């Protein structure tokens, strides 16, 4: 892809390089996650219309009637007989106003004679005798007459019965995400309850003696618990919300454990008992008190992988517990936690709630500043995307990436400032040590 590399190092491999060779690649790790999650078929549930936004339909939705249900007017105007207006563009025609039909009216005149017209509001039923509706802007109403200043075509400004959808036709396919237009269409055909795939219950488990909640007083060695709030915000961005009212649920819950083994064991047990997906934050690396992995394995969790050849986020952990519960152990550094959520947890949750696709949004971009690193890990470099103005210049027929991408300042795994400013992650490939300015790279767009 136009990226040059430094000459290969011919020295004997170090323990660190051997470890990198043994680690899964990003693509291998993601493939394993999606395979495991795809085996767990999501169950369906009836969801009230007002709580179904962005849920995934579990079955096709059929139209119970024609759409529109009746001929109706697309404009505010006057229903006319077309032959009455043959020369109106030259000589205005005066018609007798005999009735008015508003949206929702159930009574209207069924007969319309030459020389007459009916005032019709947008969305109102168009009587069968009306051949066209002339927009009000081209007419002048005086007393009980209407002066028309234009010609009309048969069917003009009339929405015909069934022109959008016929009775029994599929309105929305199974697997459709109920975006605002899709939800509006479901409401249009009268659905008060929708059969959607159930969203998994999620437990966020933060770990660490050093953590305090925002607003509490800190000692000299303590920090605020930011990761729980950041990951919960990621889930909110995916429309995992706790609901209220008669159908209230506790879809997302936050737990915390200190760094002693007993607390880790009891907190993880509670998470396993009440959740379908557990996201742990910290406690999965090589520290003396990183008990999360061993505790889960003693509870029957099957480790799928631990550590991936990526940066940030190398010590990420993925396991499956009895009962088809999925566990994601994310690193404790704030950037590592958020990046590994984007890379691994988000695609898994999409599959688990019935979405058809989980692929990230990746584009080609022209690198605006040189990058360097040690070979052996795929670096996800926080960056800003901008449109490439020269992408489609007619005088230059050579293909150019549609975007320009610039690394942000603050690339360390504890520096949230660089991620706050970023809207993309550059894929700085695993085997490379250097990417020059101007190189073509892949950039993954961030959709929080």
The 10s digit of each residue's pLDDT in 73-105 is: 999 999 999 999 998 878 999 999 999 999 999
> Rounded to an integer, what is the distance from CA 22 to the centroid of its chain?
34
Is the Cβ–Cβ distance between 76 and 121 less than 8 Å? yes
User: pLDDT value at position 401?
Assistant: 85
pTM, rounded to two decimals: 0.86
d(CA 15, CA 6): 21
Average pLDDT, the chain: 91
Tell me what percent of the residues of the chain surpass a pLDDT of 90: 83
Angle CA(199)–CA(273)–CA(234) in degrees, nearest 5?
40
The pLDDT tens digits for 304-356 are 999 999 999 999 999 999 999 999 999 999 999 999 999 999 999 999 999 98
Sequence length of the chain is 448
Is the Cβ–Cβ distance between 435 and 367 less than 8 Å? yes
Other beta carbons within 10 Å of 261: 13
> Rounded to an integer, what is the distance from CA 8 to the centroid of its chain?
41
Domains of the chain: 18-43+198-352 (3.40.980.10), 45-63+167-197 (3.90.105.10), 72-159 (2.170.190.11), 362-445 (2.40.340.10)
Structure tokens at 42: 């999501």
The pLDDT tens digits for 381-406 are 999 999 988 765 555 556 678 999 99
Question: What DSSP assignment string belongs to 13-62?
Answer: PPHHHHHHHHSBPHHHHHHHHHHHHHTSPPPEEEEEGGG-TT-BBSS-EE
pLDDT band with cut points at 50, 70 and 90 for residue 11: very low
d(CA 445, CA 448): 10
* Residues 183-188, mean pLDDT to the nearest whole number: 97
**Whether the predicted pLDDT of 279 surpasses 50:** yes
Q: Please, which residues have CB within 8 angstroms of residue 262's CB and are 6 or more apart in sequence?
A: none
Neighbour-count burial for 102-128, b at 16+ CB within 10 Å, e otherwise: eeeeeebeeebeeebbbbbbbebbbbe
**Whether the predicted pLDDT of 20 surpasses 90:** no
Q: 410 exposed, middle or buried (CB, 10 Å; 0-12, 13-18, 19+)?
A: middle
């Amino acid at each position: 892809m136009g990226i040059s590399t430094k000459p290969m190092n011919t020295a004997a491999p170090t323990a660190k390089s051997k470890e990198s060779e043994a680690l899964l690649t990003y693509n291998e790790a993601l493939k394993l996650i999606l395979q495991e999650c795809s085996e767990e078929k999501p169950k369906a549930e009836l969801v009230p219309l007002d709580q179904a936004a962005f849920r995934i339909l579990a079955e096709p939705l059929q139209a119970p009637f024609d759409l529109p249900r009746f001929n109706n007017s697309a404009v505010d105007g006057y229903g006319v007989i077309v032959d009455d207006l043959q020369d109106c563009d030259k000589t205005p025609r005066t018609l007798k106003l005999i009735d008015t039909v508003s949206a929702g009216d159930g009574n209207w005149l069924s007969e319309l004679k030459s020389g007459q017209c009916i005032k019709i509001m947008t969305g109102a039923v168009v009587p069968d005798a009306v051949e066209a509706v002339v927009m009000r802007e081209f007419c002048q109403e005086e007393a009980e007459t209407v002066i028309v200043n234009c010609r009309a075509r048969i069917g003009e400004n009339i929405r015909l019965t069934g022109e959008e959808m016929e009775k029994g036709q599929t309105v929305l396919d199974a697997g459709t995400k109920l975006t605002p237009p899709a939800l509006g269409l479901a409401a249009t055909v009268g659905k008060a309850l929708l059969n959607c795939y159930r969203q998994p219950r999620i437990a966020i488990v933060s770990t660490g003696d050093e953590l305090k909640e925002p607003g509490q007083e800190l000692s000299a060695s303590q920090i605020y618990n930011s990761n729980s709030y950041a990951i919960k915000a990621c889930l909110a961005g995916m429309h995992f919300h706790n609901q209220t009212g008669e159908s209230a649920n506790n879809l997302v819950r936050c737990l915390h454990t200190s760094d002693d083994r007993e607390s880790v064991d009891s907190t993880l047990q509670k998470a396993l008992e009440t959740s379908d997906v557990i996201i742990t934050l910290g406690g999965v690396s090589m520290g003396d008190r990183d008990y999360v992995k061993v505790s889960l394995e003693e509870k029957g969790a099957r480790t799928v992988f631990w550590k991936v050849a990526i940066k940030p986020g190398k010590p990420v952990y993925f396991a499956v517990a009895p009962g088809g519960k999925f566990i994601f152990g994310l690193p404790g550094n704030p950037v590592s936690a958020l990046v590994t959520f984007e890379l691994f947890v988000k695609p898994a949750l999409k599959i688990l709630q019935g979405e058809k696709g989980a692929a990230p949004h990746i584009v080609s971009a022209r690198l605006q500043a040189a990058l360097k690193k040690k070979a052996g890990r795929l670096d996800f470099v926080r960056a800003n995307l901008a449109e490439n103005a020269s992408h489609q210049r007619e005088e230059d027929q050579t293909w150019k990436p549609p975007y320009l991408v610039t690394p942000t300042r603050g690339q360390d795994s504890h520096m949230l400032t660089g991620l706050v400013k970023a809207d993309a992650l550059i894929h700085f490939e695993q085997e490379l040590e250097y990417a020059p300015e101007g190189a073509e790279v892949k950039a993954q767009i961030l959709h929080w």
